[in-house]
Amino acid sequence: MLTIKVLGPGCNNCKNVESAARKAVANLAIEAEVIKVTDYADIMKYKILSTPGLVINEKVVSAGRVPSEAEITTFLTNAMMEEG
């Protein structure tokens, strides 16, 4: 199972990343846990300069922008290959 973290204070961009991640998970029909990380200290552990951030299995795959659902699907597919 993949662990997906959306890093950010809860702004619209953060919500858009979370929504796109959930859609990508549903489209791939995979098991994944989507976690919102809103605590500033926890976000800073990932050493990103701006939010929103997207972390899959503790690897930062995107920061400071809203990746498309297609990009997130690619990130998830790559993470599954690394896991597998």
Alpha-carbon dihedral 42, 43, 46, 51, rounded to 10 degrees: 170
**Active site amino acids:** 11, 14
Instruction: Return the bridge partners of 2, or none.
Output: 32
Note whether 76 and 2 are within 8 A (CB): yes
Tell me phi and psi for residue 50, to 5 degrees.
Answer: -150, 155
